[in-house]
A and B are shown apart, each in its own frame.
Chain A
């Protein structure tokens, strides 16, 4: 029996989900082994009882790239750049994170100043060559970097996104003179305007290359040796790619972990006919949220390594704050209760683990309030103790002058409000109203907080999907192959030439076709074209789709009208008579990768609760008898009225009073406010 698996290697746990041709599922959770992540991966395969030789589809999501950047554990990087601009990485964008912090120290970029080398050359603002490339100068620069033993070289010249010839020639010279070096050129990595952001991203890409190359090559070998096949890597944009592509462009691995949960939400939404979703992924230390609007996750083109060090890379717009099951509650100098961002982590963990943690966490608050019942183990094997949780919360309450329950409810209230504010900001950034969204909640603690979060945001529907504890891995298993291409050509409305734009798209689509062929697809990918528009004088763009086929003034006009409409919708005003600019031309190429189909759940009568618990609800005035069901016993069509609790191995769902939960055909639970 052939097996498809996905392994998501996170900071603490490696999660595995697998499915065979009969729709039989397998799971495992193992500790991540940071020194050699593949050990954790193969341990998970063993633990799930999967024969590696049966695996023919194997998606791996990894935090290796992200961790390398956080720890700055890569080697030295060299930069070859345009004469006059060696300090772009040191100058950055001249801003600071806090307007009143006198003691802030500006983060350094990854390139030492002495390894930032200038070469005479210049491309002008229209892509024309204004000074030829000084090849002798390039050779000197390469010789210097070689002498210094630098194995990673970034090349970033001004306006290379309009004319990459100088960067390409420089790359050829590096390959000729110093073939052992890894190279990234900015016109390949991020062909868009703004030299600092482009250079920064190119440097980060090449910084990752030597170690990612070693890691993935080692993993390929082990997979091959185990008899498994079909290895693919999860990307920041929510798609999958081959290891060859990952080695070529490792910056696209960054933050690929949380992308899995969003892709799984999208796919579950598609099965259920829900296309407007906000995700709430509550893990041990962090809360991640993302929007899915009209069946498309919202994307962003930039994140940061540290403040002021951008990584421009198409990725899902996932916002994180430090709030999770391990978030500690504390009292600040003004006597106010705070929650997070410090976390008790996995060790010692929350007080209720009984491993010596004495600070109350949000998990302890849930234990105190009966929302996590000590009769059930967390994650299937962690014993929950009520007494240490009650002690920890009680002690904090004494300092506030509150009884224990009020303190516990307060901890959750503050944490929930913090998460809700992050979600609200995400919708405001897009001009959207959270009330129009369905909340999909996952992660160990997501389903526990989901109904409260939805209430705070005025959302009336929550989906607690199947396998919420390994949901990111499920997303990796279901993801498509997806590559993004962009070309910057800033075009004023009066100067539009449809033929030039048509050539730009043709060029991007040729690249897409070549990449998908290299990825092993026989057929060309599905193509979606879009253009970033803005009114003349604006500095932000809105991306709108443009039809395929021949580009004409008519098709551009049509997109322009779409832009006006979108501008009105998002910002409440538009300016149809204004001049405008086209800034970036984009192509997204997608091909279906996964053939996994989720099994349907049989229907039946509501089972008896596993036991009766006692959970505290502030609005209900105290403790209320609350039935606790096992998720695994529920069947399609079951309806549960709140208050109720549904437990499974690595997640707990709270159905508060006035909410109902219904199990749909694939086993997902839909909770609605009565």
Chain B
């Protein structure tokens, strides 16, 4: 893709034309979606094409995001910082047509090591006029834990770290770089295929951006990019100014870093609403942990932006302008801004949703749009062994759904991945064909959510049986801290991760059975044929007083077999008729009154 000649624009266009603005804005968003479609079609790994754990964006020449596709929220904050960093470090003056830059360093604006950024400067008339960027989760990146998530203690145990470097020059692969990466990961062909898919999508974007510039001219493109961002900024400011000024502080705890036994880590957030701006200040949060739970600044920024975008109108186009009214204070050396060489791979998986939950608690102090805590774990289990079908080594990162927190307007959703991701689960049949396991059951985890006027969503329970030796690593959350309710809603049940040896009948924790320090965060335990694993994810926290719950909704849960009649009476004060089909309204009113009296 050589630089393009300096033709005059083909179409007379005006920066102040709002119709052109709308056309170009949609064009750029579609281009990001097309990048995603191309990625899905051409990539190798399940993380890309089944789990869709990647994000695509177009940036202007100053490195500010102009458009994004349907983003994986984990990337939304990090991508702006990581692109900014990569541009600064390489320097636009050192970029040439046909370059592609690769970068995954969490201390340079990234989120955590598995997220690889490819960045392609787009050239017109010999100058950089825009950037196409793609950030995606690589399943294996070397290091001590297959698929990266376990009980690492520093960045060197986590895997290969790359500063911003060129992996394509003059439209050709820089073979040496590919070879270095291939030599440092467990499944080199997968990495190679995925990197090519990422690069391919940036080429597609460059072509589309240059076509646009040839049509309307570079000045019009630049001017429209500014306006596109300004509009999002305006809308975000307008939404913030509808929030009441003030400072709202919430505190939440994250359990267990996998390295220090039974320690909890404090997260403090103060949301400051001042006119049309928000400052989110994490001052007071604990010093960084020894284990992998720390967030890089990029991860903290993502969690902050994602929460705020959840709180305001979802129709606002996310781009650089949308970020402008938001400031973040995250003291270095703490759990929300890890210093080199602190471990941080789990910061972007299970710490991130916990941080969002704390932020939501702060917003709940003045807003009805907020939510109780989610189940809050991504259910990450890393499997490593030999494939059932080919006998080749495999690395599998398992992701599981959990229950959403209840909301002011409705129950939490059942079985959805944490809010920092939006990845599909693996079908049981795909599991069994590919990997030497049998899924014994995959069910809704009954009694998992917190009750309330609205209850949390349900988590799930899955049981695997190993058919061949393989190792398992884990990085889970909420085995100790319960997903909390708000406004009188009750907490949900904890995560459970249990094992049963083939020769035994008892379920035990990893600590009990394998002597790991932590039962939720550990690496490389060895399982043998016949051994079983049980993972139960939490439901979401409840919202409001359970005695205010609509009896019709209680009835529905009884009919669905999610709660029995006794439970309906004990928890919600709802009395079902003997046939269990309908609610006894009078008896319910009496019982609820008695329960309310007893509570006060």
Binding site for B on A (CB under 8 A): 83-88, 90-96, 98-106, 112-114, 124-125, 158-159, 193-197, 333-338, 400, 406, 409-410, 413-414, 417-418, 421, 424-425, 428-429, 431, 490, 492, 494-495, 535-540, 570-573, 575, 578-579, 581
Contact = CB atoms under 8 A, between A and B. Distances in A.
Nearest to A113: B560
Contacts of B371: 102
Given A193-B429, A333-B238, 17 more contacts: A87-B443, A91-B401, A93-B424, A93-B425, A96-B422, A100-B318, A102-B369, A102-B407, A103-B369, A125-B429, A337-B22, A418-B26, A428-B34, A431-B41, A535-B44, A573-B42, A573-B196
A25 to B, nearest CB: 40
A572 B200 CA distance: 8
B415 A90 contact: yes
Query: Which 5 A-B residue pairings sit nearest by Cβ, starting from the closest?
Result: A84-B441, A94-B401, A410-B19, A125-B432, A113-B560
11 contacts: A84-B442, A90-B458, A95-B422, A96-B422, A100-B310, A100-B314, A400-B18, A406-B19, A410-B19, A535-B44, A571-B41
Contact of B415 (A92, A195, A428, A539): A92
B561 A114 contact: yes
B417 A94 contact: yes
B314 A428 contact: no
Contact of B429 (A194, A410, A492): A194
A85 B428 contact: yes
Contacts of B310: 100-102
A111 B365 CA distance: 38
Nearest to A573: B196
A414 B18 contact: no
B496 interface: no
A414 B410 contact: no
Interface in B23-47: 23, 25-27, 30, 33-34, 37-38, 40-42, 44-46
Interface centre among A94, A197, A536, A538 (most CB of B within 10 A): A94
Q: Is the interface of A mostly helix, strand, loop or mixed?
A: loop
A536 B46 CA distance: 12
B559 A112 contact: yes
Nearest to B399: A94
Contacts of B413: 96, 104-106
A353 B430 CA distance: 55
B389 interface: yes
B18 A337 contact: yes
A96 B443 contact: no
Contacts of B18: 335-337, 400
Contacts of A99: 70-73, 306, 419, 422
Contacts, number: 200
A642 to B, nearest CB: 19
Contacts of A90: 414-415, 444, 458
B44 A537 contact: yes
B23 A100 contact: no
B562 interface: yes
Given A113-B562, A414-B19, A539-B49, A425 B33 contact: yes
Nearest to A98: B314
Given A85-B428, A93-B425, A337 B19 contact: yes
A96 B204 contact: no
Contacts of B407: 102-103
Contacts of A570: 41
Contacts of A195: 427-429
Nearest to B23: A417
B440 interface: yes
Nearest to B47: A539
A95 B23 contact: no
Nearest to A421: B30
A103 B34 contact: no
Interface string B230-264: 01001100100000000000000000000000000
Contacts of B41: 429, 431, 540, 570-571
Contacts of A417: 23, 26-27
Contacts of A431: 41
Contacts of B561: 113-114
Nearest to A126: B433
B23 A96 contact: no
B568 interface: no
A419 to B, nearest CB: 11
Contacts of A429: 37, 41
Contacts of A101: 310, 314
Contacts of B318: 100
B45 A96 contact: no
Interface residues of B, number: 86
A570 B42 CA distance: 9
A196 B414 CA distance: 16
A538 B49 contact: yes
Interface string B368-410: 0111000000000000000011101000000111000001011
Contact of A336 (B22, B438, B458): B22
User: Which of A103, A196, A337, A539 has the most C-beta atoms of chain B within 10 angstroms of its own C-beta?
Assistant: A539
Nearest to A197: B427
B186 to A, nearest CB: 12
B219 interface: no
Contacts of B409: 103
B311 interface: yes
B415 A94 contact: yes
Contacts of B73: 99-100
B309 interface: yes
B268 interface: no
Given A159-B429, A572-B200, A85 B309 contact: no
Contact of A539 (B46, B231, B419, B423): B46
A194 B427 contact: yes
B22 A338 contact: yes
Contacts of A88: 442
Contacts of B370: 102
A52 B498 CA distance: 70
Given A91-B401, A100-B306, A102-B407, A158 B416 contact: no
B572 to A, nearest CB: 18
A255 B72 CA distance: 31
B416 A95 contact: yes
Contacts of A194: 427, 429-430
B235 A334 contact: yes
Contacts of A114: 559-561
Contact of B44 (A98, A338, A492, A538): A538
Contacts of A100: 73, 306, 309-310, 314, 318
A433 to B, nearest CB: 11
Interface in B105-119: none
Given A93-B425, A539-B49, A125 B442 contact: no
Contacts of B33: 425
A90 B445 CA distance: 11
Contacts of A410: 19
A424 B443 contact: no
B25 to A, nearest CB: 8
A91 B231 contact: no
B50 interface: yes
A410 B22 CA distance: 10
A490 B22 contact: no
Interface string B63-87: 0000000111100000000000000
A125 B433 CA distance: 6
A183 B407 CA distance: 39
B440 A91 contact: no
B529 interface: no
A413 B442 contact: no
A106 B412 CA distance: 9
A185 to B, nearest CB: 16
Contact of B414 (A91, A492, A495): A91
Interface in B43-67: 44-46, 49-50
A421 B69 CA distance: 13
A91 B234 contact: no
